[in-house]
């Protein structure tokens, strides 16, 4: 398996599972996949965060906001691996409760990753709402 195949398997497995868990109110799996090395950043659909403390606060807040995920799909549109760096770009289709209210929405999401100690870690995310 080459680097691209290995990375894609990780995206479709571990990363997908962490995002599904977040939409059910469990932010721990997402946080476990994020780098503990600076810089880290999120330009989010609802809130931005820069640095470890703000990332932790953001993910904890999102975990409290989300529950009852009935559907989560990541429609990967582009990705690449170049050495110890990689990116994904795609659409996240979600149906979950947000602050107790059922919602269905789509986000455009781009993430950047770096390989740390042989494992992929997210260090930047940009997400925004798709306006249809």
Which tens digit of pLDDT belongs to each residue from 89-116? 999 999 999 999 999 999 999 999 999 9
**Collapsed DSSP state (helix, strand, coil) of residue 44:** coil
Q: Are 48 and 72 in contact (CB under 8 A)?
A: no
Per-residue confidence (pLDDT) for residue 103, from 0 to 100: 96
Per-residue confidence (pLDDT) for residue 131, from 0 to 100: 76
Bridge partners (DSSP) of residue 119 are 116
Angstrom distance (rounded) from CA 94 to CA 70: 8
- pLDDT for 42-88, tens place per residue? 999 889 999 999 999 999 999 999 999 999 999 999 999 999 999 99
* Beta carbons within 10 angstroms of residue 45's beta carbon: 17
* Beta carbons within 10 angstroms of residue 33's beta carbon: 18
Q: How far is CA 51 from CA 39, 54, 94, 96, in A?
A: 6, 6, 26, 27
Classify strands 66-82 and 48-50 as parallel, antiparallel or unpaired. unpaired
Q: H or E segment at 60? A: helix 52-65
Per-residue confidence (pLDDT) for residue 132, from 0 to 100: 63
- Phi then psi for residue 61, to 5 deg, are -65, -45
Angstrom distance (rounded) from CA 17 to CA 26: 11
| Confidence (pTM) | 0.94
């Amino acid at each position: 398996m080459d680097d691209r195949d290995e990375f894609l398997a990780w995206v479709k497995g571990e990363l997908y599972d962490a995002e599904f868990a977040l939409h059910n109110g469990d932010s721990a799996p997402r946080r476990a996949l994020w780098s503990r090395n600076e810089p880290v950043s999120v330009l989010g659909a609802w809130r931005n965060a820069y640095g470890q403390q703000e990332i932790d606060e953001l993910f904890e807040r999102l975990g409290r906001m989300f529950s009852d995920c009935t559907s989560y799909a990541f429609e990967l549109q582009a990705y690449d691996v170049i050495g110890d760096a990689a990116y994904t770009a795609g659409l996240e289709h979600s149906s979950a409760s947000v602050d107790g209210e059922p919602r269905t929405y789509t986000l455009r999401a781009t993430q950047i990753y770096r390989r740390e100690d042989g494992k992929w870690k997210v260090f930047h995310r940009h997400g925004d709402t798709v306006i249809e």
